[in-house]
Chain A
Amino acid sequence: MEIIQVVGLGLISTIIILIIKEQKPMFAFLIAASTSILIFLFLIGKIGSVINELEKMAESAGVQMIYLKTILKIIGIAYIAEFGSQIVRDAGQESIASKIELAGKVLIMVLAIPIIGIIIETVMKLLPA
Chain B
Amino acid sequence: MSWLNEWMREVIMVVLLATFVDLILPSRSMERYVKLVLSLLILLTLLQPIINLFKDSPEQKLSAAFKIQELNSTNFTNGKETTLQQILSQAEQMKHQQQTESLQWAGEEVAQQMKQQIQDETGSLVQEVKVILALVPAKEANEQASPSITSVDVVLQQEPEDLEGPSNQNDHNATQQIAIAPIAPVEVDVKVEPVKPGSSPSNGGVADKKSTEVLSRIGSKAEEIEKLLRVKWNLQSDQIQIKQIEGNGKI
Given the known interface contacts A109-B33, A119-B40, the answer about A78 and B45 at a Cβ–Cβ threshold of 8 Å is no
In the complex, chain B residues 87-124 whose Cβ is within 8 Å of any chain A Cβ = none
Contact present for A125 and B54 (CB under 8 Å): yes
Contacts of A116 in B (CB 8 A): 40
- Min C-beta distance of A42 to chain B, whole Å: 16
Contact present for A119 and B44 (CB under 8 Å): yes
Contact present for A74 and B51 (CB under 8 Å): no
Q: Is A118 an interface residue (CB 8 A)?
A: yes
Contact present for A101 and B40 (CB under 8 Å): no
Q: Which size bracket describes the interface of B in this complex?
A: 20 to 34
Q: Within the assembled complex, what's the spacing in Å between the Cα atoms of A108 and B200?
A: 107
Q: Is B203 an interface residue (CB 8 A)?
A: no
Q: Is A81 an interface residue (CB 8 A)?
A: yes
Q: Within the assembled complex, what's the spacing in Å between the Cα atoms of A67 and B24?
A: 17
Contact present for A105 and B10 (CB under 8 Å): no
Q: Within the assembled complex, what's the spacing in Å between the Cα atoms of A101 and B33?
A: 11
Contact with B along A45-73 (1 / 0, CB 8 A): 00000000010011001111001101100
Q: Which of B13, B18, B36, B51 contacts A61 (CB 8 A)?
A: B13
Q: Which of A58, A78, A118 contacts B25 (CB 8 A)?
A: A78
- Min C-beta distance of A78 to chain B, whole Å: 5
Contact present for A74 and B17 (CB under 8 Å): no
Q: Is A115 an interface residue (CB 8 A)?
A: yes
Contact present for A122 and B50 (CB under 8 Å): yes
- Min C-beta distance of B15 to chain A, whole Å: 11
Q: Is B6 an interface residue (CB 8 A)?
A: yes
Contacts of A75 in B (CB 8 A): 21, 24-25
Query: Which has the most chain A C-beta neighbours within 10 Å: B14, B25, B29, B37?
Result: B37
Q: Within the assembled complex, what's the spacing in Å between the Cα atoms of A33 and B72?
A: 64
Contact with A along B17-43 (1 / 0, CB 8 A): 110110011110110011011101101
Contact present for B41 and A119 (CB under 8 Å): no
Contact present for B37 and A119 (CB under 8 Å): no
Contact present for A119 and B26 (CB under 8 Å): no
Q: Is A112 an interface residue (CB 8 A)?
A: yes
Q: Within the assembled complex, what's the spacing in Å between the Cα atoms of A52 and B26?
A: 20
In the complex, chain A residues 88-108 whose Cβ is within 8 Å of any chain B Cβ = 101, 104-105, 108
Contacts of A71 in B (CB 8 A): 17-18, 21, 38, 41
Contacts of B61 in A (CB 8 A): none
Contact present for B47 and A122 (CB under 8 Å): yes
Contact with A along B133-175 (1 / 0, CB 8 A): 0000000000000000000000000000000000000000000
Contact present for B33 and A105 (CB under 8 Å): yes
Contacts of B12 in A (CB 8 A): 61
Contacts of B14 in A (CB 8 A): 63, 67
**22 A–B contacts from the bound complex (CB under 8 Å):** A61-B12, A62-B13, A63-B10, A64-B10, A67-B44, A68-B17, A71-B38, A74-B21, A75-B24, A78-B26, A83-B26, A101-B29, A101-B30, A105-B30, A108-B30, A108-B33, A108-B34, A109-B36, A109-B37, A111-B37, A122-B47, A126-B50
Residues of A within 8 A of B (CB): 54, 57-58, 61-64, 67-68, 70-71, 74-75, 78-79, 81-83, 101, 104-105, 108-109, 111-112, 115-116, 118-119, 122, 125-126
